[in-house]
Each structure stands twice: as C-alpha cells, then as structure tokens.
Amino acid sequence: MHRELTHHKLHQTLKLRAHGARLPPGPKTAKTGLAKPWLYFRELSAQYGDVVSVPGLSSNPTIVLGSARAAWDLLERRGAVYSSRPRFVVGGELLSGGMRGLMAPYGDFLAPLAQAAPLGLHAAPERRLESAVLVRDLLKDPGCFREHLERYAASVIVLVTYGRRVTDVASDEVVRRNVEAMGRLTSVNIPGKYAAERYPALKYIPAMFAPWKAEVLKQRQKDIQLYMDLLNDIKDKVARGVATPCFTTHLLEEQGALGILPTPLARRSVQTAGTLASFFLACVKFGHNFIPRAQEELDRIVGRDRLPAFEDMEELEYVRAIASETFRWRPVAVLGGTPHASTADDVYNGMFIPKGSTIIAPLWTIHLNEKDFPEPHEFKPERFLEQRDFPGTLGHTAFGWGRRICPGAHLGAASVNLNIARILWAFNVTPAKDETGQDIDVDIFAFTDGFNSSPLPFPCSILPRSQYHAEVVRRTHEEAVNELKVFDSSR
C-alpha cells in the first residue's frame, strides 16, 4: 500500500512538471472534523484566492473554489471534465449498490435520470394547492411556522414523486422512513469514518469478518424495503386505476420497472423549507427595508381579492428579487452540494488540477464574496434589480452548475417565489415581542451544522395584514382542500 502511494506521488510530480504548472496555492495541512467546514473554506479562500488546494481530505487532491467566476469557468464551461463525483465507497457503492443518482459518476446511468427528472418535477397544480394550505396553516397557528414549512415542502415532493399527500410530517410513514434512510446515508458519508474510503479493496472483505460492513449491508436492506414498499403501493394503485400521475408512474411507463431508486426526499425538502425559513429570518431582521415595497407591488399587481398566482410572478419583479436574495444570502447547500470530481488533467489560470481531483465550490464563500456582493450579510433585494457582472442568468448559483445542476431547480425556485409572494401578500412578518413589549432580536448567524444548513429555531410574529386578507386565505384554503382530495393517501 505504501509503495503504491509513493508511486502515486511520483506520478503526480512528473505530471506537474510536464504541465509546467503547480497545484493551486493552499495550506500545508488541513483542519478536519469541523462541524461547519464552510467557515474554514471561506477563510482559506480569503487567504489563498479563488482556487485553493487543500491536502489530506481524501486520497486525491481537493480543490476549493471561492468565486462565482472560478466555479463557472470550471464546473459549467469545462463541464465535460468537472461533472463526475468522487468515489463514495461505503455510501455510494456498499450502501446504495451504485443506484443512488446523487453519488453516481456522470455517465450513461445518470443521463436518463437527468432527462426524466424535470419531466416529473413541474407539477404546478400540486404546489399551488399545497401553498394555499401552507398560508392557512400560518394564519391558524403562526407559532409553528417551521413545522408548516416542512410539511409543505415534504408534501410537494411526496406528491411529485409518489402521487400522495403529507398532511402531518410527524406521523407520516413515508416521511419518517425517508428521514431514517437519510440518516443512514449521512451517518456513513462522514469523511474519514471508514478505512475503505482510502483503501477501496477493503469493501470486498466478507461481511462475516467485518462488522462495519455487515452493519452497512443491513442498512441497505432497509432502504431497499422502503423503496419496494412505495413502489408496490403505486403498482397496486395503477392496477386499480386510482394512481395519480407522478414521477414514479412516469418511470414505470417509460421503463416497465424502476432501474433507479429515487433519492431520499428528506434532503430535497430540507432545501425548500430551509430557504423559506431563512426568508422569515430576513423578514424579522431586515423586513422594514423591503416588506413595504413588496406589499406595494403586490397590492398594485394582484389586488386584495385573491392570493398571488404563478402567472403573476413575471410581473412581481421586486418579490422575485427578494426570493433571489434569499437564495443568495443564506444558501442551504452551504458547501455547494455534493462535491464534483474531475475526469482529466486540466490547467486553469496557470494552476494544475490533476485528473481525479475532488472539487468543492462552497456557496457560503461564493455567495458571500464581497467583490460580487458588497456587504454580503445585508439582505438587499435591490442587488437583483441592478445590472451586475455575474456568470449565468440567475444572478446567484444556489442550484449548482453545469451537468450536475439541480434537477429540481425549477420546482424549488417556483415554490420559493410563489410562497414568498403569498406570505408577503397575506401577512406582516415582524420581530416577536418579549414580556415587556420589546422586539426580540434574532441572530442571523445561528444556523445548523451538517451538509445542508438552515436557521436554528427563532421567534417571529406573523399576523394577517387585515381581516379581509385573512378571509381570502381561508376561502382559498377551502377550495384547495377540495381539489386536493384526489391525492388522498388512504385511497
């Protein structure tokens, strides 16, 4: 093993010489085991520049990108080279049997998934109806706003993927088992946990001699059981003629059987719910700067008699800017999603990036880069109304880049836009008050650890703008509940 490593190093050095270029600058040793590695990556970018090489995080070089321009140039423009995934020996190969799209290298297997995904993911009626439920939940029980956001996001994904609703996150079987599956995945995808990540041959040891492997395989059986149960449920509904069209029925029609396992929904609904939670946090801290202008726009374009609709979004320029600023200000995918891997040697601005490098483009650095976004921690929707020199069409990069760009971007962005419009149309969102009537301040840096980061619980006051607005919310909810009956899970 040692000889192999030495040989590998020699090979790298020769390659470096052949290219006349050096690895990007970076620290001699890296800090590992950090709860919030994105804070460290931002420090490294400030110290070493937009492209940093960080040793010792895996057996391959790790390259950390720190600007939208560098991420665009490599992950988007040179996407043919930068769209694979690092090897996930335990999480991808053993736990998922190579069937999880998220960790799959770019290639034949992923292409049909990437093409099929957007087809099943638009589902505008479901989102419109669930959003009416969300707004009524916020009216009825504003103290539990976080639970309502989570229910909304989970229900939209379960509707789109499996054609049934989630009415209560805490008691829903599919949500509970998906959250468990997600836990199994995150508990094995911890860098440095398994020697097999550095020495992949260890994965072939028979499970009877390797308790760690036996444990992982047992977890895998549970995942398979979950997806088989969901699939059988849908097949049964198709046979009885009561299935509503969804991503799974679409795949069944296309392929006759499922060749891929839909990735756990937990991660995806965390994105939407977390982004909306950050929006509430922004309202509490900075709402006085932007809510009046948004409500003026909503009153002018939508009026008082109905909730905003998808069709209004085109005209709601300022509300859209608020949504974009939310995606930028506190990106849930703090590390830029799952790392990419390069599949060929490359030179960028005179720096050598060897084949097989792990590429991380942390959004916490890219979205808080002062050159692109002056005063980055201030919430300023106006940024998105000005002409700015920024790669791409969105003005932010919350959905990733190139061939690995989030296939749910359309769904996620439309959900966030519509809900922000409806919430600001219906409510005044302000700081909560303490016993003495003083505003309770919130900490805009109090966020969770983990692969996706969202705000820790915080208090917030959500009150209807008027009784008339409250009435419209109740009426729209009643209509929505009637229309949603076709998705009733008990059928």
Between 23 and 361, whose beta carbon lies closer to ligand HEM? 361
| Distance of closest approach, residue 75 Cβ to ligand HEM, in angstroms | 6
| Distance of closest approach, residue 196 Cβ to ligand HEM, in angstroms | 22
Among 164, 158, 163, 166, smallest CA distance to 250 is for 163
| Distance of closest approach, residue 265 Cβ to ligand HEM, in angstroms | 8
Between 21 and 359, whose beta carbon lies closer to ligand HEM? 359
| Distance of closest approach, residue 333 Cβ to ligand HEM, in angstroms | 4
Which of 192-230 are b and which e, b meaning 16 or more Cβ less than 10 Å from the residue's Cβ?
A: eebebbeeeebbeeeeeebebbeebeebbeebeebbeeb
| String of DSSP letters for 142-203 | GGGHHHHHHHHHHHHHHHHHHS---S-TTT-HHHHHHHHHHHHHHHH--TTS-GGGTSGGGG
Collapse the DSSP code of 379 into the 3-class scheme (helix H, G, I; strand E, B; otherwise coil) and give the result. Answer: coil
Distance CA 474, CA 470 (A): 6
| Distance of closest approach, residue 410 Cβ to ligand HEM, in angstroms | 9
| Distance of closest approach, residue 99 Cβ to ligand HEM, in angstroms | 13
Between 27 and 376, whose beta carbon lies closer to ligand HEM? 376
The pair of three-digit structure tokens given for residue 334, joined into one six-digit string? 């703090």
Between 113 and 456, whose beta carbon lies closer to ligand HEM? 113
Strand-by-strand arrangement of the 358-360 sheet: 51-54, 62-65, 358-360, 340-341
| Distance of closest approach, residue 272 Cβ to ligand HEM, in angstroms | 4
Q: Give the interface with ligand HEM as residue ranges (CB under 6 A).
A: 101-102, 121, 157, 263, 268, 271-272, 275, 332-333, 336-338, 398-401, 404-408, 411-412, 416
Between 21 and 99, whose beta carbon lies closer to ligand HEM? 99
- How many helices (H) and strands (E) the chain has is answered by 14, 8
Question: Residue 348 burial by CB count (10 A; 0-12/13-18/19+): exposed, middle or buried?
Answer: middle
Contacts of 269 (CB under 8 A, 6+ apart): 150, 153, 154, 156, 157
Between 130 and 139, whose beta carbon lies closer to ligand HEM? 130
**Which amino acid does the sequence have at 384?**
F
Among 161, 212, 223, smallest CA distance to 188 is for 212
Alpha helices (H) along 189-264: 211-240, 247-255
Between 336 and 431, whose beta carbon lies closer to ligand HEM? 336
Determine contact, residues 358/339, Cβ cutoff 8 Å: yes
Between 100 and 136, whose beta carbon lies closer to ligand HEM? 100
Between 157 and 282, whose beta carbon lies closer to ligand HEM? 157
The residue count of the chain comes to 491
Distance CA 206, CA 12 (A): 33
Q: What is the CA radius of gyration of the chain?
A: 24
Determine contact, residues 226/178, Cβ cutoff 8 Å: yes
Between 337 and 431, whose beta carbon lies closer to ligand HEM? 337
| Distance of closest approach, residue 197 Cβ to ligand HEM, in angstroms | 19
